[in-house]
A and B are shown apart, each in its own frame.
Chain A
Amino acid sequence: MFPTPIERTRPLTRRLYKVALPVSIIIWLLPLLAVALTSIRTGADINSGNYWGMPTSFNLIENYTAIFNNSPIGYYILNSFKVTIPTVIGAITLSSLTGFALGVYKFKLNLFVFFMFIAGNFVPFQILMVPVRDLSLSLGLYNTITGLVAFHIAFQTGFCTFFMRNFIRALPFELIEAARAEGVSEFRIFWYVVVPLMRPAMAALSVLIFTFIWNDYFWALVLTQGADTMPVTAGLNSLNGQWISNQHLVSAGSIIAALPPVVMFFLMQKHFIAGLTLGAVK
């Protein structure tokens, strides 16, 4: 193991490490801790500039109920779920199909199609902004959840195809050949042989896509306006504009907006990291 395991170092180093760990994590997360602390302060504390001293009273419940009562944040959160969940399902469905096609069959344009998905995925997505907004307008999907979902599915299909195809490549190909020799049709092979084996890849992708889409801000800004369709990222930004001297409330909103992907991450940590680090190990 590298670096030298701490158990094998001198006692002084060991003791220093034990102290350095919690200290470094607190410094690392300091900005976030500050927000958490601000989110439970009273408005009076904020107005009198008491950002860093002891809060005069703890307003945890008041602040968090206040943002739900006095702002559309409940709708924003709901919209985020309405955008995120169908996108996850759609992107994974489409990319299972494309990943299977590119991973299992040998045909002339295989690598070309594969590269199209990768290249499209790496493009600076701002170049898509004007045409995609225009397309959504002409399809009547501008400022609708469906419009946002359709775009997200399309764009994420690029990354997911890359992921799925590489995953399927690593599966034992003999299984598919054996099924073919038995005369099983290609669709049945896909459904009964390959899909059950793809579950870990699907789990990893679900968590990743959930986080990416939940945190998307750019497309929310370009394709939606107003509380009926706006997801929480864009919503939070507009709340921040309205509540300039109510930092405790914006802080509470930030914590709420950050919570779903954080919970997802802690519940599915193994899959999340497996997805992110695909290819980091040969």
Chain B
Amino acid sequence: MYSYWKKNQLKLSPWLFLAPGIFIFLLYVILPIFQSVSLSFYEWDGLGLKTYIGSSNYVELLDDEAFYTSLKNNVIWLLLCLLAIPAGLFAALFLNQTVRGIRIYKSLFFFPFVISQVVVGLVFTWFYDPSNGLLNVILETFGFDPVAILADEDYVTYGIIAAGLWPQTAYCMILYLTGLNSVDPEQIEAGRIDNARGWRLLWYVILPQLKPATFIAIVVTVIGALRSFDLISIMTRGGPWGSSRVLAYYMYEKAFSEYGYRMGYAAAIAVILLAIMMIYIAVILYRIYRDERSV
């Protein structure tokens, strides 16, 4: 027994180290993904018996207007959240100085990312409040009529996304600040000698060196945008009339709220969301794979 262990220690050790982590990860993350996929072919209220209904849930989705609203909003979220990346870059450029007290400014700028989305959601709900909110106080001083952003079907999604951009911009800023720190100073000097200034220097010399930071910023922002749930749940509960729902929120509503207890239908929505996300996951994994091969 002991000699067997001695001989095979190098082969067996990794699996012993991996066992607890793999076990809990399979149980709570990997298996549930497959369970959800299979559940999407059933009708189930969460308590009684499951009934196999084939692809009916998906067929129903095709005719569900709320599904299309959610999907459309997800696309808007995805595109507009990407604004956090240039915004973060400019914030980082603005703060990348060495004047006195700059560290405290950087920390304060980063603040919104540290606090919970629940608090961010509450803060922005009050900010948009049509009677006393700060936004409308400002609008009125400039002579505009007050707007009830969160009660208006046309504005509501944009209002929530603006709240989401606040912490996301802070995150992208930190990524770029770290990236700017490691930009090669000799290349900047060389660029300056070649008479590159301002925008041209930024575009041709700095940005190429910030590629790793940009890649992470895109990955994190896209995933965050597709997962968006907290702000919608806090600020509007999907309203008014479901116009601010996204897929993640709509499926929650279908599964657990008074509209729902339709677990199979919710699972089908989740599968669609996963399918969209899989494109990104595949790209990310491919990039990591390529980097691993080149080591």
Contact = CB atoms under 8 A, between A and B. Distances in A.
Contacts of B274: 123-124, 127
Contacts of A129: 251-252, 255, 266, 270
Interface string B275-286: 001001100110
Interface stretch (B59-67, B105-113, B144-152): B105-113
Interface of B: 9-11, 13-15, 17-18, 20-22, 24-25, 27-33, 35-36, 39, 46, 93-94, 96-99, 102, 105, 107-112, 114-119, 122-124, 126-127, 131-132, 134, 137, 166, 171, 174-175, 178-183, 185, 188, 201-202, 205-206, 212-213, 216, 223, 226-227, 229-230, 233-234, 247-248, 251-252, 255-256, 263, 266-267, 270-271, 273-274, 277, 280-281, 284-285, 288-289, 292
B227 A124 contact: yes
Contact of B109 (A25, A124, A154): A25
A54 interface: no
Given A122-B280, A124-B270, A217-B230, A29 B29 contact: no
A250 interface: yes
A234 B251 CA distance: 19
Contact of B118 (A17, A25, A100, A257): A257
Contacts of A49: 131-132
Nearest to A126: B248
B13 A126 contact: no
A250 to B, nearest CB: 7
Nearest to B30: A120
Nearest to B266: A130
Given A126-B251, A158-B25, A217-B116, A131 B17 contact: no
Contacts of B216: 277, 279-280
A236 B273 contact: no
Contacts of A261: 114-116
Given A116-B25, A127-B32, A254-B119, 20 more contacts: A2-B180, A5-B98, A28-B112, A29-B111, A29-B112, A35-B123, A49-B132, A51-B132, A102-B18, A113-B18, A124-B273, A125-B227, A127-B36, A128-B28, A150-B24, A154-B29, A157-B21, A258-B115, A276-B174, A280-B212
Contacts of B181: 281
Interface residues of A, number: 97
Interface string A179-223: 000000111001000000000000000000001001101100110
Nearest to B31: A131
Contact of B122 (A98, A121, A250, A276): A250
A171 to B, nearest CB: 14
Contacts of B28: 128, 132, 135, 150-151, 154-155
A31 B123 contact: yes
B141 to A, nearest CB: 11
Contact of A281 (B117, B213, B289): B213
B263 A280 contact: no
14 contacts: A1-B98, A2-B183, A21-B105, A31-B124, A31-B166, A101-B14, A105-B13, A116-B25, A119-B285, A127-B32, A130-B35, A130-B267, A132-B28, A277-B213
Contacts of A221: 233
Given A98-B22, A280-B212, A280-B216, A32 B111 contact: yes
A32 B112 contact: yes
Interface string A86-108: 00000000110110111011010
Contact of A117 (B9, B25, B277): B25
Nearest to A161: B21
Name, among A95, A110, A217, A250, the residue most crowded by chain B CB atoms within 10 Å (CB to CB): A217
A20 B112 CA distance: 20
Given A113-B18, A240-B122, A128 B114 contact: no
Name, among A51, A107, A277, the residue most crowded by chain B CB atoms within 10 Å (CB to CB): A277
B206 A2 contact: yes
Contacts of A276: 171, 174-175
A173 interface: no
Contacts of B206: 2
A132 B212 contact: no
Contact of B281 (A17, A20, A29, A123): A123
